[in-house]
Structure 1
Amino acid sequence: MNTLLKNWNLRRIIYLIGGIFFVLIAVNDRSWWMIPFGLYFVGMAVFRFGCASGNCEVPFSKNDSKL
């Protein structure tokens, strides 16, 4: 539980808010097919997988600075 609450950044917070938003809108509109999308984003934020954990960033290389 302690590891879930550490290292939160802006990207994880946005994924969490967006996922909760999708789930609430889906329940309100009774669009049940949209709930898995919202839960996917909530899962990305809570369990730190995918782009929410920063794995989608491209590392900077010294060779790129010459351009």
Structure 2
Amino acid sequence: MKNILQNWTISRFLYLAAGIFFILVAVNDRVWFMIPFGLYFAAMALFRFGCASGTCDILPNEDINHSK
């Protein structure tokens, strides 16, 4: 529980909002196949895995930045 409540970033809030949005739209429109997508985004935000944890950053290649 402690891990869920710590280190919230803007991306985690956005993933949680997107997940809740997908779930609400799916239930409202009865498009049941969208619920797993919403649950996935919400779980990424709550449990801090995937891109919501910041592990999808692309690091610059140092060889490109140095001229030879």
TM-score of the aligned structures, taking structure 1 as reference length: 0.88
* Distance in 2 between residues matched to 1:64 and 1:10, nearest whole Å: 30
User: Deviations along 1:21-67, whole A, 9 cap, x unmatched?
Assistant: 00000000000010000000000000011000001112345444336
Match of 2:59 in 1: 59
* Distance in 2 between residues matched to 1:35 and 1:15, nearest whole Å: 14
RMSD, aligned α-carbons: 1.4
Matches within 5 A, 1:1-67: 1-60=1-60, 62-66=62-66
TM-score of the aligned structures, taking structure 2 as reference length: 0.87
5+ long unaligned stretches in structure 2: none
Q: Name which one, 1 or 2, has greater alpha-carbon Rg.
A: 2
* Distance in 2 between residues matched to 1:33 and 1:51, nearest whole Å: 22
5+ long unaligned stretches in structure 1: none
Count the aligned residue pairs.
67
